[in-house]
Amino acid sequence: MNKSLNRRWSMVMILMFGMVLLTACGTKYAALPINEDVDICAICKMQVKDDAYATQLTTKDGQNYKFDDIGCMNQWKTENGTDNIGMDYVRDYNDKEWIEYSKATYVYDASLRTPMAYGILNFKDKPSAEAFIAEQGVGTIMTAEDLASHDWKQNTENMDMMGEHGHEEHGHGEEGDGNEMHEEGEMKEESGH
Protein backbone atom coordinates (compact mmCIF):
# COMPACT_ATOMS: atom_id res chain seq x y z
CA MET A 1 0.00 0.00 0.00
CA ASN A 2 2.91 2.38 0.67
CA LYS A 3 4.17 1.89 -2.88
CA SER A 4 0.75 2.76 -4.26
CA LEU A 5 0.55 5.92 -2.16
CA ASN A 6 4.08 6.97 -3.15
CA ARG A 7 3.26 6.34 -6.80
CA ARG A 8 0.13 8.52 -6.55
CA TRP A 9 2.03 11.34 -4.86
CA SER A 10 4.72 11.09 -7.50
CA MET A 11 2.10 11.37 -10.24
CA VAL A 12 0.47 14.36 -8.52
CA MET A 13 3.84 16.09 -8.19
CA ILE A 14 4.70 15.40 -11.84
CA LEU A 15 1.33 16.80 -12.95
CA MET A 16 1.73 19.90 -10.78
CA PHE A 17 5.26 20.46 -12.10
CA GLY A 18 3.97 20.06 -15.65
CA MET A 19 1.24 22.63 -15.04
CA VAL A 20 3.79 25.08 -13.64
CA LEU A 21 5.93 24.59 -16.75
CA LEU A 22 2.96 25.08 -19.06
CA THR A 23 1.96 28.23 -17.22
CA ALA A 24 5.50 29.59 -17.42
CA CYS A 25 5.71 28.81 -21.14
CA GLY A 26 2.46 30.64 -21.75
CA THR A 27 3.65 33.90 -20.21
CA LYS A 28 2.92 36.80 -22.51
CA TYR A 29 5.13 39.85 -22.45
CA ALA A 30 3.89 43.14 -23.81
CA ALA A 31 5.66 46.40 -24.47
CA LEU A 32 4.68 49.07 -21.96
CA PRO A 33 3.87 52.66 -22.91
CA ILE A 34 6.57 55.28 -22.43
CA ASN A 35 5.86 57.87 -19.75
CA GLU A 36 8.29 60.73 -20.36
CA ASP A 37 7.55 62.18 -16.91
CA VAL A 38 9.06 59.20 -15.09
CA ASP A 39 10.84 56.84 -17.51
CA ILE A 40 14.61 57.02 -17.22
CA CYS A 41 17.07 54.94 -19.25
CA ALA A 42 18.30 52.01 -17.15
CA ILE A 43 21.87 52.59 -18.39
CA CYS A 44 22.60 56.28 -19.07
CA LYS A 45 19.90 57.65 -16.73
CA MET A 46 18.62 60.05 -19.39
CA GLN A 47 14.92 60.66 -19.95
CA VAL A 48 13.33 58.10 -22.25
CA LYS A 49 11.45 60.02 -24.91
CA ASP A 50 8.25 58.65 -26.39
CA ASP A 51 9.91 58.47 -29.79
CA ALA A 52 11.28 56.08 -32.40
CA TYR A 53 14.51 55.51 -30.45
CA ALA A 54 12.93 54.10 -27.28
CA THR A 55 13.56 50.43 -26.53
CA GLN A 56 12.63 48.17 -23.64
CA LEU A 57 12.90 44.69 -22.28
CA THR A 58 11.02 42.67 -19.70
CA THR A 59 12.74 39.97 -17.69
CA LYS A 60 11.16 36.59 -17.05
CA ASP A 61 10.45 37.68 -13.47
CA GLY A 62 8.46 40.70 -14.70
CA GLN A 63 10.98 43.55 -14.32
CA ASN A 64 10.72 46.12 -17.12
CA TYR A 65 13.69 48.22 -18.23
CA LYS A 66 13.43 51.11 -20.69
CA PHE A 67 16.22 52.68 -22.72
CA ASP A 68 16.60 55.88 -24.74
CA ASP A 69 18.76 54.20 -27.40
CA ILE A 70 19.21 50.63 -28.62
CA GLY A 71 22.90 50.92 -27.70
CA CYS A 72 21.95 51.37 -24.05
CA MET A 73 19.78 48.25 -24.23
CA ASN A 74 22.74 46.37 -25.71
CA GLN A 75 24.95 47.56 -22.84
CA TRP A 76 22.35 46.30 -20.32
CA LYS A 77 22.37 42.90 -22.06
CA THR A 78 26.18 42.82 -21.99
CA GLU A 79 26.22 43.61 -18.27
CA ASN A 80 23.29 41.40 -17.22
CA GLY A 81 23.17 38.63 -19.82
CA THR A 82 20.20 37.58 -21.92
CA ASP A 83 19.08 34.32 -20.27
CA ASN A 84 16.53 36.06 -18.05
CA ILE A 85 14.98 38.23 -20.80
CA GLY A 86 11.35 37.37 -21.44
CA MET A 87 11.02 39.76 -24.39
CA ASP A 88 12.79 42.80 -25.79
CA TYR A 89 11.30 45.46 -28.01
CA VAL A 90 12.36 48.27 -30.31
CA ARG A 91 10.19 50.83 -32.09
CA ASP A 92 9.68 51.27 -35.79
CA TYR A 93 11.42 54.46 -36.91
CA ASN A 94 8.48 55.49 -39.08
CA ASP A 95 5.36 54.85 -36.98
CA LYS A 96 6.75 54.14 -33.47
CA GLU A 97 4.99 50.75 -33.24
CA TRP A 98 6.66 48.27 -30.90
CA ILE A 99 8.44 45.38 -32.65
CA GLU A 100 10.07 42.33 -31.12
CA TYR A 101 13.83 42.89 -31.20
CA SER A 102 14.49 39.61 -33.03
CA LYS A 103 11.93 40.42 -35.77
CA ALA A 104 13.02 43.98 -36.57
CA THR A 105 15.29 45.08 -39.39
CA TYR A 106 18.02 47.57 -38.50
CA VAL A 107 19.89 50.26 -40.39
CA TYR A 108 23.33 51.27 -39.20
CA ASP A 109 25.54 54.13 -40.19
CA ALA A 110 27.85 56.06 -37.87
CA SER A 111 26.44 59.32 -39.26
CA LEU A 112 22.84 58.54 -38.23
CA ARG A 113 21.80 60.57 -35.21
CA THR A 114 20.36 58.65 -32.28
CA PRO A 115 20.05 59.78 -28.64
CA MET A 116 23.32 58.18 -27.52
CA ALA A 117 25.01 58.27 -30.97
CA TYR A 118 25.06 54.53 -31.69
CA GLY A 119 23.71 55.18 -35.22
CA ILE A 120 21.21 52.32 -35.35
CA LEU A 121 17.59 52.77 -36.45
CA ASN A 122 14.85 50.14 -36.19
CA PHE A 123 12.31 49.19 -38.85
CA LYS A 124 9.42 46.74 -38.84
CA ASP A 125 10.47 45.18 -42.13
CA LYS A 126 13.26 45.09 -44.69
CA PRO A 127 11.40 47.14 -47.38
CA SER A 128 11.01 50.03 -44.89
CA ALA A 129 14.72 49.87 -44.07
CA GLU A 130 15.65 49.75 -47.75
CA ALA A 131 13.40 52.75 -48.48
CA PHE A 132 15.13 54.72 -45.71
CA ILE A 133 18.58 53.89 -47.11
CA ALA A 134 17.47 54.84 -50.64
CA GLU A 135 16.07 58.16 -49.38
CA GLN A 136 19.02 59.05 -47.12
CA GLY A 137 21.81 57.62 -49.25
CA VAL A 138 23.51 56.00 -46.23
CA GLY A 139 23.13 52.91 -44.14
CA THR A 140 23.69 49.19 -43.97
CA ILE A 141 20.87 46.74 -43.32
CA MET A 142 21.37 44.51 -40.28
CA THR A 143 19.40 41.81 -38.48
CA ALA A 144 19.26 41.07 -34.76
CA GLU A 145 21.81 38.33 -35.42
CA ASP A 146 24.11 40.86 -37.07
CA LEU A 147 23.82 43.14 -34.04
CA ALA A 148 25.17 40.34 -31.84
CA SER A 149 28.59 40.83 -33.45
CA HIS A 150 28.31 44.61 -34.00
CA ASP A 151 31.05 46.75 -32.40
CA TRP A 152 28.57 49.17 -30.72
CA LYS A 153 30.84 52.22 -30.88
CA GLN A 154 29.36 55.63 -30.22
CA ASN A 155 30.03 58.35 -32.78
CA THR A 156 31.62 61.03 -30.62
CA GLU A 157 31.03 63.67 -33.31
CA ASN A 158 27.29 62.96 -33.15
CA MET A 159 27.46 63.09 -29.35
CA ASP A 160 28.75 66.65 -29.64
CA MET A 161 25.75 67.55 -31.85
CA MET A 162 23.26 66.27 -29.32
CA GLY A 163 21.72 68.38 -26.58
CA GLU A 164 23.35 68.27 -23.17
CA HIS A 165 20.85 65.63 -22.08
CA GLY A 166 21.95 63.22 -24.80
CA HIS A 167 18.93 63.75 -27.04
CA GLU A 168 18.71 65.54 -30.30
CA GLU A 169 17.15 68.89 -29.76
CA HIS A 170 15.13 68.75 -32.97
CA GLY A 171 13.76 65.23 -33.46
CA HIS A 172 14.73 62.89 -36.29
CA GLY A 173 17.60 65.02 -37.54
CA GLU A 174 15.27 67.55 -39.12
CA GLU A 175 15.56 71.29 -38.87
CA GLY A 176 14.66 73.00 -35.59
CA ASP A 177 11.17 73.48 -34.31
CA GLY A 178 11.75 76.97 -32.99
CA ASN A 179 12.78 75.79 -29.54
CA GLU A 180 16.22 75.32 -28.08
CA MET A 181 17.43 73.85 -24.80
CA HIS A 182 18.90 76.05 -22.12
CA GLU A 183 21.36 74.93 -19.48
CA GLU A 184 18.65 74.43 -16.89
CA GLY A 185 16.71 72.22 -19.33
CA GLU A 186 13.98 74.81 -19.86
CA MET A 187 12.60 75.41 -23.32
CA LYS A 188 13.09 78.87 -24.73
CA GLU A 189 11.52 80.26 -27.87
CA GLU A 190 14.14 81.35 -30.42
CA SER A 191 14.06 85.09 -30.82
CA GLY A 192 15.14 85.01 -34.46
CA HIS A 193 17.79 87.72 -33.79
Q: What is the pLDDT of residue 19?
A: 53
Per-residue pLDDT of the chain (193 residues; tens, 9 = 90+): 566 666 766 665 665 655 555 445 556 899 999 999 999 999 999 999 999 999 999 999 999 999 999 999 999 999 999 999 999 999 999 999 999 999 999 999 999 999 999 999 999 999 999 999 999 999 999 999 999 999 999 988 876 555 544 444 333 333 333 333 333 333 333 333 3
Cα distances (angstroms) measured from residue 33 to each of 24, 25, 91, 102: 24, 24, 11, 20
DSSP 8-state assignment for residue 58: E
Report the DSSP beta bridge partners of residue 107.
Answer: 121, 141
Taken in order 100, 104, 110, 111, is the CA torsion positive or negative? negative
Report the DSSP beta bridge partners of residue 91.
Answer: 98
pTM summary value: 0.71
Q: What is the pLDDT of residue 171?
A: 38
Q: What is the pLDDT of residue 157?
A: 82
